[in-house]
Chains A and B, each alone.
Chain A
């Protein structure tokens, strides 16, 4: 049983990590969900298995350890909230750019361009600086 749980967690982490390497936000979010569940499964596996731990229903030495399950429940609730926020961000990104791909940082590109060793695509660079220029500043 433990081996099966461990294998499940391993598969979830594997797929999740692959999805995290993608540039599309929707895949990133699914990937985060998967590795989150992987961690939850590992946590549940650490507890002793047995009957439901309600006092008066049976022998206390057969009871399952309820603590990890309570802790995992908290973790699930937290990841639920954050996933909702991420989806909202992805939707916002899609509204603004018609795409949910994570773009490069314009400052990083500017600095790579300043270095003679690294070649940067000029067209992309201009695009990035235009984006920056059209964006209303904080103080505007």
Chain B
């Protein structure tokens, strides 16, 4: 049996257990965390290279044949997601270690973080719908703990909202699985394909719709996004960064996987997805413009950017899905970087509210540069990764002649740029108006930034530039991943045998 696929799930779990045992020494915990995640990066790169050269890798855990046992599958999409997730997890862990504050030094932080890593890996690698449920639950339970680790009032308040909405989504997911099992008698993704095709069209559409609602809550699609901007900003910067980068993307991955694989092309909710994508983009960016707090603005950006990815999927063409895959990679990196920079701004300025920050161009020019790189990338300015992602998506949309959604996409891009200028002007260029308010918190003097916070942020910011400049190979890879997704027969053959 092949050990390379279970390793990204098992390794962080063992490390999490070890980390609890080493609870007395923060140093030992940190060494365990960094070593494990470095190994995870290496492992996921090995998986990606192997999947790209040899095709889909399948492991039947315990050697039980496919529809009966637990199946782990890595195709190009899962491998790409795994690599991106591992890199981001490692960078954010380093940032969290560098960031002063009680939450990150809590005895449970490192082990919970590793549990989250295991859950994310499991969600990307599983080939079974029920295991996907378990993986998402593992990831979410870790995220509940990370979000409320400090136990502050604001955290408990917004943590409650987050936990309750996630639990309702989980119950809906379980219910959907029950209906699916009742209709087909299997939970294995590859086995489901053939059995769903035999169902009446109405049942197919109902199952597709139910799965879309369930994962739509996790991915924060319109109109199911309302929990996200309330809950994300209250956690410490490092935690918010990893939530923003990975958690909603697991929902997106699940949407892409189930909608492309499980349902025959005539029962896919393509038009619905395009409408939802447009509304998600518009509502997200309008929400961002209305906000006065950097972390909340960034949270609304997550929503509007998810709209772009769903737009690519909604086309259900090779070019559209390739654009969506590239956009996910770009989005994970950029979003995480933005939140890390938000943490730096908060650290240096003492607050994250726009009207209390100012003049940071003079006091912290390095932060200004680090903010500008991912922010321009998010708006889609060349030569950053966002430009390539948006160009690919718009090109695919134009080729499918979906002009309405294309217009919405371009308009939202402009509004994103406007919103970024709003942050830029009030945080970096405006005079330090904060001095007029005497009662506003401790940090007037800019503080020195810990190097461990700066370096991971700078590396991720450089990565978004690198993805933009060296987009060719990655875009080819996304194209090949999309080709796998458009024709699910390879997937089914790899899992069930010819």
Chain A residues packing against B (C-beta within 8 Å):
20, 25, 28, 32, 35-36, 38-40, 42-43, 45-46, 65, 67-68, 71, 74-75, 78-79, 81-82, 85-86, 89-90, 92-93, 96-97, 102-103, 105, 107-108, 110-111, 131-132, 135-140
B442-463 contacts to A (CB < 8 Å): 442-443
A43 touching B178, Cβ below 8 Å: yes
Pick the residue among A20, A78, A86, A137 that contacts B134 (CB under 8 A).
A78
Give Cα A108 to B134, complex, Å: 33
Pick the residue among B144, B153, B175, B187 that contacts A71 (CB under 8 A).
B187
Pick the residue among A93, A108, A138, A140 that contacts B230 (CB under 8 A).
A108
22 A–B contacts from the bound complex (CB under 8 Å): A36-B167, A36-B171, A39-B171, A39-B174, A43-B174, A43-B177, A43-B181, A45-B178, A46-B179, A71-B130, A82-B144, A85-B163, A89-B148, A96-B153, A97-B153, A102-B160, A135-B153, A137-B351, A137-B441, A138-B236, A139-B101, A139-B347
A86 touching B152, Cβ below 8 Å: no
Chain A nearest CB, measured from B463 CB (Å): 25
Pick the residue among B157, B168, B181 that contacts A93 (CB under 8 A).
B157
Chain A nearest CB, measured from B328 CB (Å): 27
Chain B residues packing against A (C-beta within 8 Å):
100-101, 103, 130, 133-134, 137, 141, 144-145, 148, 150-154, 156-161, 163-164, 167-168, 170-172, 174-175, 177-179, 181-182, 185, 187, 230, 236-237, 290-293, 296, 346-347, 350-351, 441-443
Chain B nearest CB, measured from A51 CB (Å): 19
Most-contacted residue by chain A among B154, B236, B296 (CB, 10 A):
B154
Chain A nearest CB, measured from B455 CB (Å): 19
Given A46-B182, A138-B101, A139-B101: A110 and B292 interface contact (C-beta under 8 Å): yes
Give Cα A65 to B152, complex, Å: 47
Chain B residues in 8 Å Cβ range of A32: 164, 167-168, 171
Pick the residue among A75, A89, A96, A140 that contacts B163 (CB under 8 A).
A89
Give Cα A32 to B174, complex, Å: 13
A135 touching B141, Cβ below 8 Å: no
Given A92-B151, A111-B291, A135-B154: A20 and B346 interface contact (C-beta under 8 Å): no
Chain A residues in 8 Å Cβ range of B230: 105, 108
Pick the residue among B145, B152, B181 that contacts A46 (CB under 8 A).
B181
**Extra inter-chain contacts (10) besides given A38-B171, A138-B101, A139-B101, CB under 8 Å:** A20-B168, A43-B174, A46-B181, A71-B181, A82-B141, A85-B141, A85-B145, A89-B156, A93-B160, A140-B442
Chain A residues in 8 Å Cβ range of B130: 71, 74
Chain A nearest CB, measured from B176 CB (Å): 9
- Give the interface SS of chain A, mostly helix, strand, loop or mixed: helix
B161 touching A102, Cβ below 8 Å: yes
**Closest 5 pairs between A and B when the two form their complex, measured CB to CB:** A46-B182, A43-B178, A39-B174, A39-B175, A42-B178
By beta carbon, the residue of chain B nearest A44 is B178
Give Cα A65 to B68, complex, Å: 13
Chain B residues in 8 Å Cβ range of A74: 130, 134
Given A93-B160, A135-B153: A71 and B167 interface contact (C-beta under 8 Å): no
Chain A residues in 8 Å Cβ range of B175: 39, 42-43
Chain B residues in 8 Å Cβ range of A89: 148, 156, 159-160, 163
Most-contacted residue by chain B among A36, A82, A132 (CB, 10 A):
A82
Give Cα A50 to B182, complex, Å: 16
Give Cα A16 to B157, complex, Å: 21
B157 touching A102, Cβ below 8 Å: yes
A111 touching B290, Cβ below 8 Å: yes
B156 touching A96, Cβ below 8 Å: yes
Chain A nearest CB, measured from B362 CB (Å): 20
Give Cα A132 to B158, complex, Å: 13
Given A68-B181, A93-B156, A105-B230: A138 and B346 interface contact (C-beta under 8 Å): yes
